Amino acid sequence: MRRRTWLSAFALTALAVVAAAPQGAAVGDERERQFSYAGLTTDPRWVNDTEGLNRELLKDGVRPATMGLESPRGADSPPTVSDPTREQELAQRHGATYAAPSEQHTAPAPANRYDYITPQECRNNWRVSSRDQGWIKNHFAYCQLFVLYNKTERCFVICFTTGAFTAKVTVVGYGKREVMPGSAAHRFTDYALDMTEVRASGRFREATTMLDVQAHCQGWPNANACQMAGPNGKYTNLPTWIAQPTTSFRAYSPAQPADQAHGEQKATGVMRITYRFTVPGTVSIPDRVVGSEMGMRFDSAWYLPARQGSIFDRVTPYITFRLSDEPVKMSARHLSDAINHPEATEPKVPGKLLPGGSAENPLRRLYHDSARRTANRAEATSFCHRRWPGYPELGQDCDEFPFASTYEGAARYKYDGDRWRDHFSARPINAPDNQEAGSRLGAWYGNDRILDGDRFFVRVVN
């Protein structure tokens, strides 16, 4: 009686396991089958406990799906074509912003030219870097963090684990203010991939088990706008990957020399990295795993100090001015009043609304239409002369917000409708203060590659 009970339990267990087996290992199929289950996850449980994930994958009968891991993106997830408008919309949707302290932009090139992200910094900031969109620290610094995993098993009525692989993967992106080496005018972006906390057992220790890591880029305004330069990633066996857990990628965009006659030559690229494991004798489910999108913009803006460059554009930047910063304290006070209390600023107008204080209500840089910039400045100074006659003799300039170098400047009503008449703030402040703030703004435009029409906003801090 005891023996029958044991056999019944065994039979029920076997039937349950076989029912859960992948297609191809069904009841009545007497052939042995082997499977591998690759994927990636950004679940905080596993990003911070790769050892625990590896331990779970090693258990017989446990698969990623039964662990609640998100479904891996397969081969049907190519990069998406994305134009500059969509890129800025994604920035707002993701709520991605970064701060540019004005005091760091007192010269055409800041002391820390790029402020890149280190791999360890990316791992330390896992709360933002492990999001699907990754982390944009500034226009030139990007990273994403996730865990790559795979599990193999052998199935014949019951499935047994034959190997597990887990690794914390860091992908760091490097925007540029220069042309691609070896070219006359091509723009480029570099990426570095690094694996840490690598754990491999069973089939993933075999020299015949391979991992192919490659990047693919989809360009706009045409397919050639973003291309991969060789070598693109790495294809080698797992023991070599474990010994040398790094690789790199370079995306580039061909262009004519930077010149006004050619325009800004803006192009966008959306890059994704694919991870394909090959474990001999196994059926791979899926056959490859695709990482998250990485968006970038290339330009050849002749009016910037560095005439060619690339940025990570799915972010809305903001420039900060400090109330305690002596050279610009009067400008900072005016900005604070205009952003936080527009109704109290001059000129007085009912329901006064001033954009530029948030990513949801940004400013847009104005460069190409010099007549409109002049009109913005003239509108503000004309008001200052009427309201405060003789202020220039006191060593003062007319300070205005929104800035004359934006589409939202004082003369906006002449272009966008009378509803914008007097929706600006102007006041006389000490000339050196006003000019220092304006100089910093202009330097930041160049340093961070803020082009005509690009969105940004302003914050005032203590």
User: pLDDT tens across 71-88, in order?
Assistant: 655 555 667 889 999 999
- The confidence score (pLDDT) of residue 237 equals 98
Residue 270 within a domain:
yes
CA-nearest of 103, 178, 87 to 136 is 87
Answer whether residue 11 shows pLDDT above 50: no
Residue 13 within a domain:
no
User: pLDDT tens across 136-179, in order?
Assistant: 999 999 999 999 999 999 998 899 999 999 999 999 999 999 99
Among 311, 337, 363, the domain-final residue is 311
Do 427 and 348 have their domain in common?
yes
| Full residue range of the structural domain in which residue 456 is found | 317-461
Do 117 and 253 have their domain in common?
yes
Do 345 and 441 have their domain in common?
yes
User: pLDDT tens across 242-281, in order?
Assistant: 999 999 999 999 999 999 999 999 999 999 999 999 999 9
- CA angle at residue 396 from 392 to 399, to 5 degrees? 110
- The confidence score (pLDDT) of residue 72 equals 58
- The confidence score (pLDDT) of residue 2 equals 36
Burial class for 393, CB neighbours closer than 10 Å (0-12, 13-18, 19+): exposed
Range 428-453 average pLDDT: 98
- CA angle at residue 368 from 367 to 371, to 5 degrees? 90
Do 277 and 346 have their domain in common?
no
pTM above 0.85, yes or no: yes
Residue 400 within a domain:
yes
Cis bond leading into 181, ω under 30°? no
Among 279, 311, 343, the domain-final residue is 311
Residue 30 within a domain:
no
Answer whether residue 25 shows pLDDT above 60: no
User: pLDDT tens across 288-345, in order?
Assistant: 999 999 999 999 999 999 999 999 999 999 999 999 999 999 999 999 999 999 999 9
Residue 230 within a domain:
yes
Residue 117 within a domain:
yes
Do 293 and 370 have their domain in common?
no
Residue 159 carries which side chain, given as an amino acid letter? C
- The confidence score (pLDDT) of residue 77 equals 61
- The confidence score (pLDDT) of residue 108 equals 72
Do 122 and 238 have their domain in common?
yes
User: pLDDT tens across 186-234, in order?
Assistant: 999 999 999 999 999 999 999 999 999 999 999 999 999 999 998 899 9
d(CA 203, CA 201): 6
d(CA 257, CA 150): 46
Do 338 and 281 have their domain in common?
no
Answer whether residue 5 shows pLDDT above 60: no
User: pLDDT tens across 91-101, in order?
Assistant: 999 999 999 99
User: pLDDT tens across 331-386, in order?
Assistant: 999 999 999 999 999 999 999 989 999 999 999 999 999 999 999 999 999 999 99
Do 126 and 234 have their domain in common?
yes
Residue 68 within a domain:
no
d(CA 33, CA 324): 70
Residue 175 within a domain:
yes
Answer whether residue 15 shows pLDDT above 90: no
User: pLDDT tens across 31-74, in order?
Assistant: 789 999 999 999 999 999 999 999 999 999 999 989 988 665 55
Do 304 and 366 have their domain in common?
no
- The confidence score (pLDDT) of residue 78 equals 65
d(CA 384, CA 400): 9
CA-nearest of 203, 171, 170, 192 to 38 is 203
Do 340 and 214 have their domain in common?
no
Answer whether residue 30 shows pLDDT above 60: no
Among 263, 292, 311, the domain-final residue is 311
Do 324 and 304 have their domain in common?
no
Do 394 and 269 have their domain in common?
no
The number of folded domains in the chain is 2
